[in-house]
């Protein structure tokens, strides 16, 4: 399930993506025709994964190669709306790396429309061994 439509920009520390999939009538995370704002965590996690894959594309060692990861924690979640599918505008998803170690990464992320931030928080991922 791919929710991100495009990468707008990235560098070693952050990625900015855009998506319009939150308005899809058949959204895979919708429940009873509603897409909860908490599904935005998946958008943040996908931005993190794309960032990791882009950084790994230039990997020089096996330990820097792309690896599977498991979302193990989400914290400091704050939202200003209840449903993502009520956003008429495209979403901008920004993820900023806060910590990278051998088998763990942590990011701060934010989903916003052109008018407001709709969800922000932090997420941690444990990476599979190389």
Strand arrangement, sheet containing 6-10: 6-10, 14-19, 91-101, 104-112, 117-127, 69-79
Domain count, the chain: 1
Q: Could you give the CA distance from residue 51 to residue 95 in angstroms, rounded to a whole number?
A: 8
Q: Give residue for tokens 């088998």.
A: 103
pLDDT in tens, 2-30: 999 999 999 999 999 999 999 998 999 99
pLDDT, residue 68, reads 86
Give the domain CATH number at 18: 3.10.129.10
Answer yes or no: are the C-beta atoms of 54 and 15 closer than 8 Å.
yes
Report if residue 85 sits inside a domain. yes
Q: Considering the chain, what is the average pLDDT of its residues?
A: 93
- DSSP annotation of 24 reads -
Q: Could you give the CA distance from residue 64 to residue 53 in angstroms, rounded to a whole number?
A: 10
Q: Which two tokens stand for residue 92?
A: 């901008």
Q: Give residue for tokens 């992320």.
A: 109
pLDDT in tens, 58-92: 766 666 667 889 999 999 999 999 999 999 999 99
Report if residue 94 sits inside a domain. yes
Residue 57's pLDDT band, with cuts at 50, 70 and 90, is confident
Domain membership of residue 98 as a residue range: 6-127
As a whole-number percent, the residues of the chain with pLDDT over 70 amount to: 95
Report if residue 1 sits inside a domain. no
């Amino acid at each position: 399930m791919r929710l991100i439509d495009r990468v707008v920009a990235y560098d070693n520390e952050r990625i900015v993506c855009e998506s319009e999939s939150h308005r899809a009538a058949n959204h895979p995370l919708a429940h009873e025709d509603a897409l909860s704002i908490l599904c935005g965590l998946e958008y943040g996690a996908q931005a993190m994964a794309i960032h990791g894959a882009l950084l790994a594309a230039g990997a020089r060692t096996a330990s820097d190669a792309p690896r599977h990861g498991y979302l193990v924690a989400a914290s400091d979640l704050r939202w200003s709306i209840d449903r993502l599918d009520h956003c008429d505008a495209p979403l901008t998803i920004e993820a900023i790396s806060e910590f990278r170690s051998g088998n763990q990464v942590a990011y701060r992320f934010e989903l916003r429309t052109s008018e407001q931030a709709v969800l922000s928080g932090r997420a941690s991922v444990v990476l599979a061994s190389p």
